[in-house]
Structures are given as C-alpha cells and as structure tokens.
Chain A
Amino acid sequence: MKNPYIPHEVKILDTWYEAPGDRCIKTFKVTFTDEKVWDTWSHLPGQCAMVGIPGVGESMFCISSSPTEKGYLRFSIMKAGKNTSALHELEAGDTFFVRGPLGNNFPLEDWKGKNVVTIGGGIGQAPLRPVIQWIRDNRGDYGELQLIYGARTSADHCFKDEFKEILEEGECACHLSIDVEEEEWPHFVGFVPQLLLEVAPSPENTIAVTCGPPIMIKFVLQNLEKLGFTPDQVYTTLENRMKCGIGKCGRCNVGHLYVCKDGPVFSYAQLKEIPEAFA
C-alpha cells in the first residue's frame, strides 16, 4: 500500500524574492533528489503539495510551475508562520520535503478552444501562473489569453519578470494594477475588481479564473456577473488550514467538500451552493 503521508526530498536549484516586507514572498525552484520520484510524479495546473521540513512541519501550497516546465517544480511561498519562516531560511543547495501532488486541477482540457482570462491579486497569482504557462506552451489549443493582475504596490507584484516578458511579447493582453499611485507607474491604479470592469473582457466563449485575497475574489465574482459571465464560466481556488491533504484529517471542509481533496479548484457554480465557501 502506497503511503500518502511520506514526503520526498527535494533539492533547491534556485531561489529568489518575489516581494519584500515582513510577509515577503520567496520562490523556490526545486528538483527531487531521488530521480525515480519523477517517474511517478505528474501534476496539472492548480494542484498542490505539502511542503515542509521534518522537525518543523508541513503546509499546503499550490505548485506554481506548469507541468510543461520539465525537470523542476516551483513553489512561491509567503513568510507567514513557523514552517514558512523555516523554509525562507533555505537557499540553493539546501533541501526540504514535498508530498503530493494533491487536490484537483483546473480543467484545462475542457477549456480547449476557449478564451481564458486570469484575474489575480498578490500571491494569489501563484496558482494562476501554471495556467498561463500551460496555455503559452499549448498556444494553438486555446483562444485569446488575457491577464489581469494587481498588488498593493509595484514591489508587491509577483512574477515581475514574466509579466514584463509577456507585455513585451504582446501576444496576450496584460493589465496590471497597484492600489495606490506611484511615480512612473504606467498602468492602472486601483483595485483589481475595478480593473476588471475597466478591461471588461467579453464572456463570449470565455473562462475566467480568479485567485487572490478573499475580499478581492468576492468583488471579482460580483463584477464578472455584471459583465455577463455565468457561474459555470468562472473558476477559483479556495484555501483552508490543512494537515493531511488527502481528505482524512477533517479540518479543511467547506460544507460537504474538502478543499484538499475536492479542491482547491472550484467553479463558482459549485461554490454558490456552499454557504461556508467564503467565510
């Protein structure tokens, strides 16, 4: 019987900071120490893993790299508690442990032939990054790709270099925002839900995916409805405290659904039925 509680060691290939501050965000690019683990590993955009250090603990994070990026995984982690603080101490060459892949994924196969608009806020862009990368790497399978992303300040923007590259390429529309005015900021100033109304993507044959702080998601969902998106065209991910990651320990339920097992990806149509979803 395969033991789903046993994590695998990964070696850090590279690290860099996405955002500064007390709750800074660091990206870890890692590879499994035991090459054989790659033989059984396969994940899809949206899936998660338990990440941690034996002796400290483990926490659930989305895998912020797409399976089309071969030979490594990425995790973009905000320093928030005991485990994440210990992870932030690590640099290239160090190791930690990964258990997964866990949870469900964005149904990208079902979205083939459709336009996709991603709406992210802050570290909430982490689960959207693999979606974007997947579509960029399978460009012919999808229609128009539109990116909407914002954070408090320009320094708080994650994946800055990649957004810059996408903007320069000009292949897909990319709309960035910050909450308050900064000198020489060439893009939108205001909150992400406002930017969404400004961009006003058409719901015609389009899927909208949103991740970010709960308050942002709440208003994004309202504004998507205003724009004519139906609940089954809208996807998001939920977060809850998790321990086992495999639907046993009981703590991450929203209504009858376990975020770790039935999620983290949910359609808005599903969540509308669950009163606890945005508690």
Chain B
Amino acid sequence: MALKKLSKEKMGEVLGELSKFRLVAPAKSDEVVVFKQIGDPQEAFLDYGNSTVPPKKFAFPQTETLFRFMVGSPELKEKNVEEEGTTVIFGLRPCDARAMAIVDKLFSWDFDDPYYLKRRELTTLVGMACVEPPSVNCFCTSLQGSPFGTEGLDMLLTDMGDYYLVQSLTEKGEKLAETLSSQLEEAPAGDEKKAEEMARESEGRIRRSISTAGIPEKLPGLWENELWKRVSAACLGCGICTFLCPTCHCFDIQDEVDEGGEGRRCRMWDSCMFEEYTLHASGHNPRPTRRERTRNRINHKYSYYPNRFGVIACVGCGRCINLCPVNIDILDILDQVVDAQ
C-alpha cells in the first residue's frame, strides 16, 4: 500500500480531524503516560516511550456493563457497544497492537464475545514505530515481534525526524488515510528502505532476550519443579503484572444494584495472582499459594495459550518487569525454565 508523509506541523490538524471519532491517544496523567480519550489535540503526548497502562482497556474495559435490569423484573437491557462509536487509537506501540491480535483469538474462540468483538470492529489502530526501544526491559524480538512490527495495526507511523512516514496496512487504515488525505503528502523516494534500516537498528538496540524455542513443550514437565517456589517467594500477590499486561484478559463477573433496585451485571479485570480467583464456595482452593498461582501465570502465557491458540500470550513489552514492586522478572523465570532439568 502507498506510503505517505505527514509533516509534524500538521499533527495538530490530523488529531483535530480524528476528533470526529472517539479519539484515544497517549496522554500524561500525573507522572505516568496512559491512553485516554482526548478532545483537544494538545492533550496528546506523542514523545513517549511506552504507556504505563496498556491501551487494552479500549477493547476490553476495566469494568463494563453486560446488561442492566430492575431487581425482580424479567427485562434485561443488553449493553449496546455501538453507542460508544467509532474509535481511533492513535500512537500505540507495535507490541500493544500485537497483544490485541493475540487476545482476539480468545474472544472469538467458539463462543463469540459480542462486546469485545463489536468494539474491535469499530476500532482502528494507528501505531507508532519504536525508533528507540521504549524501555530497557523490552524483549519483543524474542516473541516474533519487532519495534516496527505491524501485526494488529491498521496504520503505522514512523518518526523520520521532521515528518512521519505513514503506512496503511489494512482496509481500515486505507480508509483513515483517505480521511486524512488533505494532511498527507507523497512520501519521499527511498523512505521505505530507510525505515527498514531504522527497524534493524532499533531491533539491534534491544538489550534483553530469551530463546522461547521449546519452552511451551518443556513447561508441563516442570510441574513439580522447585523453581516455582523459588521464583514466587518474593511475590506480594498484588496482581500488577497481570493488570498491566496487554495480553492478560481474565475477568470476574459481578452484579451491582443501587438503592432503587436498578442494577447492572458487569465484568471487570481480575487476576490469576489473587487467592480468591480460584477459591471454591466450599472453601477448597486448587491454587492455594503463590507458588501455584505463579506457575499458572507462566504456564498460561507460555504453554496453555500456545497449546490452544498457537501463539505465546506475551509480547515482550516488559511492563511486568518494570512495574513489579519486588523486582520479579519474567525473563529470569523463563531463564530458570530453560535451565531446569
């Protein structure tokens, strides 16, 4: 598909144009960068490494209503996702877009999840290539990703200095390029090659890596290995590794009712690192300690998910390493898996 050029001076205009949709972009919130719906193009903060919180909540909200009801009434009013409107998520990193492509597999497996899939259908993803790896703990290249990866994206922007190189990747991306046609120019000849070179350079700057070959097959044999006790010993069970993971998708379902009897059934993010997550009504818990819960988390990402969906549920964004309050490092765990006998 044709490459275009977007002058940096026109970024405000572009974001203004995109504001006719629900526009989501990285923005500063206190000291962290989060994706949020912006009304004013000035709010967008594009000179960022990666967001602290991944943009997954715009496909899979932290809390969302499934249906509303009045207590005692047989009428259930299903949430209409279409009311949320067409969304453009602008400026996300390739790893986060790839994470959505991975999670799509779960929500469309057998039973289609109408809320998630409708929202994905209505959303266009505009990525921002990582000219510099955003964090010291990035390891996307170990998981078939790349700082310039396009999987899951509809459009990719690459910072070429004074301008962005704009690459439409899908029909949705093409449509968006048409919408922005008055802001886009023909890309200079040779930019494609230049971008390829930049991608190689950026990949070369990624410091951390793991060879994932054989890990999915090896994990089942390490069930009783002492490494699980060792790697979970420091865990606080806070769940931040799962809440901030762009591929973690576990949820709880709860009912909320107000004083007037108006209620809603909603789902909210949950974490396999919490004790209550698997606690039976009988009091029995099949994963009673952090050892079992850590083992499940690693197995889910690196064994169960590839077993079912053919892909590891980790994109190497490094958030679980960066934000763990006790410095648990998934690459250290995986190194121990590789070394375990």
Contact = CB atoms under 8 A, between A and B. Distances in A.
Interface of A: 1-7, 9, 33, 54-59, 80-81, 84, 95, 214, 239-241, 243-244, 246-251, 253-256, 261, 275-276, 279
Contacts of B69: 54-55
A256 B255 contact: no
B279 A241 contact: yes
Contact of A7 (B76, B254, B272, B286): B76
B252 A249 contact: yes
Contact of B282 (A4, A80, A243): A80
A244 B280 contact: no
Contacts of A253: 296, 300, 304
Report, as a range, how many residues of chain B touch the other chain: 35 or more
21 contacts: A2-B114, A4-B111, A4-B114, A54-B69, A56-B255, A58-B253, A80-B281, A84-B281, A240-B278, A241-B280, A243-B267, A244-B253, A244-B267, A247-B110, A249-B250, A249-B270, A250-B251, A250-B272, A253-B296, A254-B286, A276-B223
B118 A243 contact: no
Interface in B259-301: 261, 263, 265, 267, 270, 272, 277-282, 284, 286-287, 292, 296, 299-300
B56 to A, nearest CB: 14
Given A95-B74, A244-B267, A255-B299, 5 more contacts: A6-B67, A7-B76, A250-B250, A261-B111, A275-B224
A256 B308 contact: yes
Interface string B197-240: 00000000000000000000000100110000000000000000
A214 B280 CA distance: 13
A247 B109 contact: yes
Nearest to A257: B304
Interface of B: 66-67, 69, 71, 74, 76, 78, 106-107, 109-115, 117-118, 220, 223-224, 249-255, 257, 261, 263, 265, 267, 270, 272, 277-282, 284, 286-287, 292, 296, 299-300, 303-304, 307-308
Majority secondary structure of chain B interface residues (helix, strand, loop or mixed): mixed
Contacts of A6: 66-67, 76, 78
Majority secondary structure of chain A interface residues (helix, strand, loop or mixed): loop
Contacts of B265: 5, 54
A255 B304 contact: yes
Nearest to A56: B255
A249 to B, nearest CB: 5
A258 to B, nearest CB: 9
Given A249-B270, A251-B272, A275-B223, A243 B111 contact: no
Contact of A244 (B220, B251, B287, B307): B251
Contacts of B254: 57
B71 A54 contact: yes
A125 B78 CA distance: 36
Contacts of B257: 55
